[in-house]
Amino acid sequence: MSGETPAPAPDDELEALWAMIRTRHGARLGAAELADLRQSVEGLVTLVRTLRAVPLANADAPLEILVPHRAGGRPGA
Amino acid sequence: MIFTPLRQLGEQIRSRALSPVALTEAVLARLSALGPAYNAVVTITAERARAQARAAEREIAAGTYRGPLHGIPYGAKDLLATAGGIPTTWGAAPLRGQTFDTDATAIRKLDEAGAILAAKLAMVELAGGMGYRQPTASFTGPGINPWKTGHWSGGSSSGSGSAVAAGLVPFALGSETWGSILSPAGYCGVAGLRPTYGRVSRHGAMTLSWTLDKIGPLALTADDCGLVLEAIAGPDPDDASTIPAPFRYDPAAGRRPRWRFGLVRDALTGCEDSVRAAFDRSLDELRAIGDVVEIALPDLPFEAIARIILGAEAASAFEDLVERGLLAGLTAPEDRYTTYSRDVILARDYLRALRVRAVAAREADRVLAGVDAVVAPGRPILAPPLDKEFRSALRGTVNDALGALGNIAGLPAVIVPNGLDPGGLPTSLQFVGRAYDENTVLGAACAYQARTDWHRRHPPVAEVPPATGQP
């Protein structure tokens, strides 16, 4: 056994998202800013994965609702 | 009249022992002389204030008294639109000259209550929504803490906190998406109220996050905050998120023969020693008026929910600023590009955050239904020094599960001072309640303040010569 630690598997999703960021915004940023932005991206990807791990059922709806618009307000308001 | 709570000020004005004009001139003089020392002020609205003060004096002399805020000057966080050519800068250098044609609803309601707009107050640029991590994230400079001027006043309602603490205005309006009322109030040693989401109309206020933004008061006492909330709260056809019912501040409704306070397990994790010590002393006071029971918050990722919702909504809210290239003019370097990272929040992940938020809100309400209010340190740390990056819940460098939960679920919270550390910086205590329970959390905070005197202590502020009237 060589005792070497295997390299982590590539995070395809993270790299695809980072590539999108670089395509959209990379040209206007310097190396330090890109490095900082990469950390932000990694942080956000970690957060969304935390949320993806929470089990949800079809009935778990957001609290946010559509309030159909009509000038003057809705009935009962 | 400086450092006098609103209820007493209002009575002095109502009884004509104090002139609104004299009070306004004193406030304008303090704003002018001391505001720059704390980077607290963007615009002193002297002309409007004097006209409003004269009108208040005439009305009261004629027997028309509008209520406890009639004739009392205040400052408004500079994300609330004000008409008449008064700039509304959002704390952002590229928007220094921005103006609006109409007042925000909260400003209009304070006009109707007879209050007097004396100043637009400094704030962190774009209310901190670009991911700032240092106090110097405003074109007005870092908010300076009146207790110790090498330290931050907190944000994003920086000027609102320091102006009330230094006695520049009797009360101020701030806003909170995640921490922006509680932070400056706590660091500056004043009271702050984050109302239930939807309690106060956001029409005319800058949007950072549609489902997280709330407008609320900062003042010397919790009772003062209740008086201001009643004036600014209520349904507004221009803001569909407003709660359909009016709000009446009812101190009697907020009294209990014996309180039941919830204390979250591990509430003190990550807190500085002086915060812990002050909180322990506060618990002694709270145990004298009630029971303190341990509670456990639901095991859900509140901070992840808050950060994804805030990130996605802020990215959308400021899309036009990005497209217009205005980010390059922001003061904090990280504010010029951090928002780009939010492009990675996919629609499905944003919707998942909203759905998990609903689960969190229901489970939290089940826990909170067993107590009158949850108590916790107002801030885990003392006001940070001006010259360093600070730890931030938004960036995940400090834990703020209760703050995250309170904001994602739209829950009300009151923060009040509960001590001074050996170096002279304030510590604070917060009460968080069930949705719509502002009277309860205000009552709890008032009960605490009736037994303590931290709200009567004020920072060492320079004397200002008596006002001599209009220039």
Strands B214-219 and B73-77: unpaired
The secondary structure of B399-415 as a DSSP string is --HHHHHHHHTT--EEE
pLDDT of residue B270: 92
Alpha helices in A1-77 (DSSP H): 12-25, 31-52
**Nearest-angstrom CA–CA distance, A34 and A29:** 6
**Nearest-angstrom CA–CA distance, B134 and B157:** 14
Contact A41, B315 (CB under 8 A): no
Contact B444, B373 (CB under 8 A): yes
What's the pTM?
Answer: 0.96
B357 touches chain A (CB under 8 A): yes
pLDDT of residue A3: 64
B301 touches chain A (CB under 8 A): yes
Contact B136, B67 (CB under 8 A): no
Helix (H, G, I), strand (E, B) or coil at A76: coil
What are the tokens at B438?
């502002």
Instruction: Point out which residues pair with B74 in neighbouring strands.
Output: B117
Residue B156 falls in the annotated catalytic set: yes
**Nearest-angstrom CA–CA distance, B261 and B258:** 10
**Nearest-angstrom CA–CA distance, B304 and B128:** 17
pLDDT of residue A7: 74
Between B58 and A72, the higher pLDDT residue: B58
Q: Provide the total of helices (H) and of strands (E) in chain A, helices listed first.
A: 2, 0
**pLDDT, tens digit (0-9, with 9 covering 90-100), for A58-67:** 999 999 988 8
- Residues of chain A with Cβ-Cβ distance to B327 below 8 Å are none
- Residues of chain B with Cβ-Cβ distance to A69 below 8 Å are 240
Contact B126, B318 (CB under 8 A): yes
pLDDT of residue B471: 45
Nearest C-alpha neighbor of B168 from the set B23, B51, B48, B67: B23
CB contact under 8 A, A43 and B396: yes
pLDDT of residue B6: 98
pLDDT of residue B333: 96
Give me the residue from A36, A48, A61 closest to B345, CB to CB: A48
pLDDT of residue B468: 59
- Residues of chain B with Cβ-Cβ distance to A31 below 8 Å are none
Helix (H, G, I), strand (E, B) or coil at B466: coil
Contact B334, B132 (CB under 8 A): yes
- Residues of chain A with Cβ-Cβ distance to B334 below 8 Å are 36
Cα–chain-centroid distance for residue B457? 19
The enclosing H or E element of B174 equals strand B171-176
List the catalytic residue out of B153, B158, B175, B180: B180
The secondary structure of B53-117 as a DSSP string is HHHHHHHHHTT----TTTT-EEEEETTB---TT----TT-GGGTT---SS--HHHHHHHHTT-EE
Which A residues, 38 through 67, put their C-beta within 8 Å of a C-beta on chain B?
A: 40-41, 43-45, 47-48, 50-52, 54, 56, 60-64, 67
Give me the residue from A20, A62, A77 closest to B235, CB to CB: A77
Count CB neighbours of B420 within 10 A. Answer: 18
What are the tokens at B110?
């304070």
Nearest C-alpha neighbor of B226 from the set B203, B255, B204: B255
**Nearest-angstrom CA–CA distance, B132 and B171:** 26
Q: Residue B128: left (phi > 0), alpha (psi -120 to 50), or beta?
A: left
CB contact under 8 A, A37 and B355: no
State ipTM: 0.91
What are the tokens at B382?
């003392």
- What does each C-alpha distance from B220 to B105, B324, B458 come to in angstroms? 23, 40, 10
pLDDT of residue B397: 75
Contact B296, B363 (CB under 8 A): no
B237 touches chain A (CB under 8 A): yes
Q: What is the dihedral of CA B400, B217, B441, B425, to 10 degrees?
A: 60
pLDDT of residue B388: 87
Average pLDDT over residues A11-26: 96
pLDDT of residue B17: 98
Share the mean pLDDT of chain A. 90
Residue B77 falls in the annotated catalytic set: yes
CB contact under 8 A, A44 and B341: yes
The secondary structure of B250-298 as a DSSP string is -TTTT--SSEEEEEETTTTTT--HHHHHHHHHHHHHHHHHEEEEEE---
- Residues of chain A with Cβ-Cβ distance to B351 below 8 Å are 62
Interacting residues of B101 by C-beta distance below 8 A, sequence separation 6+? B83
pLDDT of residue A8: 73
Contact B278, B269 (CB under 8 A): no
Q: Is the pLDDT of residue A36 over 60?
A: yes
Q: What is the pLDDT along chain B (471 residues), one digit of tens a residue?
A: 899 999 999 999 999 999 999 999 999 999 999 999 999 999 999 999 999 999 999 999 999 999 999 999 999 999 999 999 999 999 999 999 999 999 999 999 999 999 999 999 999 999 999 999 999 999 999 999 999 999 999 999 999 999 999 999 999 999 999 999 999 999 999 999 999 999 999 999 999 999 999 999 999 999 999 999 999 999 999 999 999 999 999 999 889 999 999 999 989 999 999 999 999 999 999 999 999 999 999 999 999 999 999 999 999 999 999 999 999 999 999 999 999 999 999 999 999 999 999 999 999 999 999 999 999 999 999 999 999 888 777 677 778 999 999 999 999 999 999 999 999 999 999 999 999 999 999 999 999 999 999 999 999 988 887 665 554
Give me the residue from B337, B352, B396 closest to A37, CB to CB: B337
